[in-house]
Amino acid sequence: MTEKINHVKNPLTIIAIFAGIAEVSGTIITPFIDKELQGIFIYFLIGFPTILVVLFFVTLWFKSNVLYAPSDFSNEENYVIMRQFYDKNRKIEIVERKQSNTKKTDGTCFVAISSTNAPQKANSENSVRIRLADVPTASNMAKAFRKKGYNNIDIYSGFSEEPSTDENSKAIWIGADIDIETIKKVIKDAVRIYPNLKYISISNEYTDNVRNEIFIGGSTETAISRNAKDLEEEDFKAIESVKNINELEQIITQKFY
């Protein structure tokens, strides 16, 4: 493994550099040592690297992954291939999992190995999953959605200890793989059931499940950080006539001039 001297990370490379410095230093100071001790010191200079080389190969024999620097494991795809989890018939996808959709948090990365089949778009309100933030009126909201024919619906309780409130739950996360007609219908019904909604954001960077999911009551703070527009009544009316996701994004995204 080739590494730049000013950017060494491999533990074995560090040991090798240390041994080299010790050998050079020992050779330089040998003439300054008493003659009685020079023989012992020379044997040490011979034996020290030999022991290191032996330990090096013993270590490789029992634990070959010590050849890898810690930074090599920061790439999840490298880890999967090295540990022989990789299957050529499947693709490796790095995805991000959020601890809570109702609070802006740092995401943690993990590896998802998925089949090569492309996800199909959810094309009806029954096939799309609707999740509700655990706001005080969540139970009533769930009943209202079920009355309108939405069967795949549940209330989401995040890992955050802070309770969701109407003030911090004004957003809708829309999965990018959902059919536009279904999106329009869900938005229209959601605004009637939960008038507190003011922001909409397209979720297209997560797993296939989230791309086919609509989350109602997402974090207001996160929506604003994603440049989501504070929607007015006329904006929601304009959404009813959009033909695709791109037209929807034109309406829901804040414009800076």
d(CA 233, CA 254): 15
* Bridge-based pairing state of the strands 213-218 and 171-175: antiparallel
Residues 53 and 158 in one domain: no
d(CA 189, CA 38): 89
d(CA 21, CA 13): 12
Residues 166 and 207 in one domain: yes
d(CA 90, CA 113): 7
The residue range of the domain holding 108 is: 71-115
User: How distant, in Å, are the alpha carbons of 2, 59, 210 from that of 207?
Assistant: 36, 39, 5
In contact, 110 and 74? CB cutoff 8 Å:
no
Residues 63 and 76 in one domain: no
The predicted-structure confidence for 38-89, as pLDDT tens digits, reads as follows: 778 778 877 877 887 788 778 777 766 656 555 554 444 554 554 444 444 4
Query: Exposed, middle or buried by CB within 10 Å (0-12, 13-18, 19+), for 117?
Result: exposed
Determine, yes or no, domain membership for 123.
Answer: no
Structural domains in the chain (count): 3
The predicted-structure confidence for 172-224, as pLDDT tens digits, reads as follows: 999 888 899 999 999 999 999 999 999 999 887 655 567 788 999 988 988 89
Confidence band, pLDDT 50/70/90 cuts, at residue 235: very high
Q: Which two tokens stand for residue 182?
A: 């279904």
Eight-class DSSP state of 80? H
d(CA 100, CA 192): 25
Residues 216 and 186 in one domain: yes
Using the 3D structure, point to which of 57, 91, 115 is the last residue of a domain.
115
pLDDT at 93: 47
pLDDT at 96: 45
